Structure 1
């Protein structure tokens, strides 16, 4: 599934890049600065409905990703500091610490944070793989649970979440000196990502087996790794990545929210209030669903599926075959059409199944930490 999702996601990323090139060739206004390129592609393909649907999916994805980052960071910090502070109590502490950093401008103003986040992830994946291999001796005969319909599609949403960067791809391509070379950036980037994900995921599967299914500490494979210097270092590195990543991911969401409210660009009290409110909303969702795997599967199986599988192929077919302003439709070869239709159908069916499975997983109580933090706190107080 990891390999198939990576190949499919890389292909649709290249297709999305072609859509942006079409817009730049047809409409000179898109050669200048465009704050939201993906919704612009939706607009030129299907008008305002396409623009608004894409905008919603992008915002929902960014909000979900930032919530997941907040949850995992809290879980990691709880494991590092084994004092009396609970996982739920760490959430507001971390949110309060990160909140002032969200008041910064745009990602171009703090690009070193992205470099630091990526470096931390590469080193963490390497160390995780080493530690997992070292754990073979403590779990020589791992057991594996049977795969069910719900488990398969929850996994589908989770894995696709890992390759769901399409919301930002048109922005990256637009800022490139040579946008036509975007496909090579996609190919090399996905190759590096697979080299990081695949060893950790497969080694964890073959060595830990179904221990993760019954793990009382949630979905994180870190909680199954033997304690020691390597595990502690990995936890610190991943936590650093998550805190850096939170500042980056929440920023575009805040910018669009500010634009909708009419807040002028530039640092000011209104920006601080709006972005603090967004962080507070993040915190409320995290306290309500304090199980990052559930949110990860829900976002990955819903909006990420549409942004990754459905929209790129759908918009590409529409832009290539539409006739307006003197542009003649282009005939797409039959084999290419079949590929696009298959991707769209897989995306729609997989997205519906993954979303249903993720919601059912949360509603049935199959996930750990399903009870909201404030419910637990109220019960403890009573």
Structure 2
């Protein structure tokens, strides 16, 4: 069995009573606060981009949303069970929160290569999500400015990144639960307002005459990647669970969190699909008429995205800090490492023209790996046991379901990744910001 290293600094905070049971402390997240983090890390970009994804994939897009929601919640719970098993095998992990629980699960299951796959996928996913959030924030802010403003998306993105960098210096999720709560409330309010706005604006629309996008293979699998991205949360889930006072209750937080997210997504997405059809844009806010309603939705969603930047970049920061052996307590080394991470994200923001392309690429590639493939394979491997640990019985129907999820995630992920790369290379090439700082927002320059 491979040796899993852990940070001795984590022993400073004990969450275990003398009888070995989780101890309820002020530093541990409960089910409700964990649910808030789950909603905060998932909802956001999906709320803005799902209407377009549904139009690109047709009515079956609604089936894909339900499928991705169910499978993501199921594999999230499986991932949580994996973490409980790993903690049980390594008593040292019970002495405090671990900065990198998902890679630790991968190493326990498949050794160093399992850890490497997870680490790369998490860093690519969360880094890409940070880029998407910065781009979407910049686009929403530009929409709120006067039409003759000299501040383009390129300039606003730099301002957004600079303004949010100090907040990324906060330690782990338990240190900024208020940010997650604010992000969740902002998205909840925006989803209700957008739904009402779309219905009001479409009150005179004959739905039977609405024209929808002609579906092709590229658009369908690109839409699939976008939908996968809309339920992205697995890279951060083990981090949240590790910070819980009772990690065994993570499944309850997942069920509640995904139910809330689905309730946010479906009504406004269905309304926009029915009313606007092919006129819906990659960012649905750019589709609704300008006015007080669109301004309020833009402000709320921008607030969520800004808060979300702090949440999604945190796992990347913790992995980098572990690699360079940076202490867990606040030091200048943490400030430097996390600032450089944000600078790298801003460089990608300035280089890649369209958030929708990044979103589809990340959703089809590493999110499929982290959400569909790894949880099932890790659980199946851990349950086999070894000479040091007893095997755990898995019913046949559960095994079949996990293999089906793995196969579906692999095939669809490959197709979505290829489609996103093709779409970016063929249809959405634009010069980077450092070549043309006056470059318009993605929705204005898209072909």
**TM-score normalised by length of structure 2:** 0.79
Asked whether the equivalents of residues 19 and 319 of structure 1 are also in contact (C-alpha less than 8 Å), the reply is yes
- RMSD (Å) for aligned C-alpha atoms: 1.9
**Further displaced range: 330-339 or 162-171:** 330-339
> Which residue does 1:142 correspond to in 2?
210
Asked whether the equivalents of residues 362 and 370 of structure 1 are also in contact (C-alpha less than 8 Å), the reply is no
- Equivalent positions of 1:198-217 (< 5 A) are 198-212=266-280, 215=281
Counterpart Cα distance in 2 of 1:30 and 1:263: 19
> Which residue does 1:73 correspond to in 2?
137
User: What CA deviation, in whole Å up to 9, does each residue of 1:243-262 have, x standing for no partner?
Assistant: 11112222332232233233
User: What CA deviation, in whole Å up to 9, does each residue of 1:41-77 have, x standing for no partner?
Assistant: 1111011111111111111111011111100000000
Superposed displacement of residue 271, structure 1: 3.0
> Which residue does 2:52 correspond to in 1?
none
Counterpart Cα distance in 2 of 1:240 and 1:73: 8
- Equivalent positions of 1:135-174 (< 5 A) are 135-137=201-203, 139-140=205-206, 141-174=209-242
Q: Residues 5, 92 of structure 1: CA spacing in aligned structure 2 closer, same or farther, 3 A cutoff?
A: same
Larger proportion of helix:
1
- Equivalent positions of 1:223-372 (< 5 A) are 223-325=286-388, 327-365=389-427, 367=428, 370-372=430-432
Counterpart Cα distance in 1 of 2:133 and 2:439: 27
User: What CA deviation, in whole Å up to 9, does each residue of 1:312-348 have, x standing for no partner?
Assistant: 10001101113221x2323422222111111000111
Counterpart Cα distance in 1 of 2:302 and 2:150: 20
> Which residue does 2:67 correspond to in 1?
4
Counterpart Cα distance in 1 of 2:431 and 2:270: 31
Counterpart Cα distance in 1 of 2:439 and 2:78: 51
Counterpart Cα distance in 2 of 1:378 and 1:135: 32
SS in 2 for 1:375: coil
Counterpart Cα distance in 1 of 2:372 and 2:439: 43
Counterpart Cα distance in 2 of 1:324 and 1:35: 28
Residue segments in structure 2 that go unaligned for 5+ positions in a row = 1-63, 441-447
Say whether 1:376 aligns with 2:376: no
Asked whether the equivalents of residues 71 and 290 of structure 1 are also in contact (C-alpha less than 8 Å), the reply is no
Residue segments in structure 1 that go unaligned for 5+ positions in a row = none
Counterpart Cα distance in 2 of 1:210 and 1:3: 22
Superposed displacement of residue 104, structure 1: 3.2
Asked whether the equivalents of residues 357 and 423 of structure 2 are also in contact (C-alpha less than 8 Å), the reply is yes
> Which residue does 1:64 correspond to in 2?
128
Q: 2:255 aligns with which of 187, 203, 208?
A: 187
User: What CA deviation, in whole Å up to 9, does each residue of 1:65-92 have, x standing for no partner?
Assistant: 1111100000000000122221222111
Say whether 1:36 aligns with 2:100: yes
Q: 2:244 aligns with which of 176, 179, 188?
A: 176
Superposed displacement of residue 377, structure 1: 4.1
Q: Residues 183, 106 of structure 1: CA spacing in aligned structure 2 closer, same or farther, 3 A cutoff?
A: closer
Counterpart Cα distance in 2 of 1:252 and 1:181: 21
Superposed displacement of residue 378, structure 1: 9.1
Asked whether the equivalents of residues 142 and 153 of structure 2 are also in contact (C-alpha less than 8 Å), the reply is yes
Asked whether the equivalents of residues 99 and 319 of structure 2 are also in contact (C-alpha less than 8 Å), the reply is no
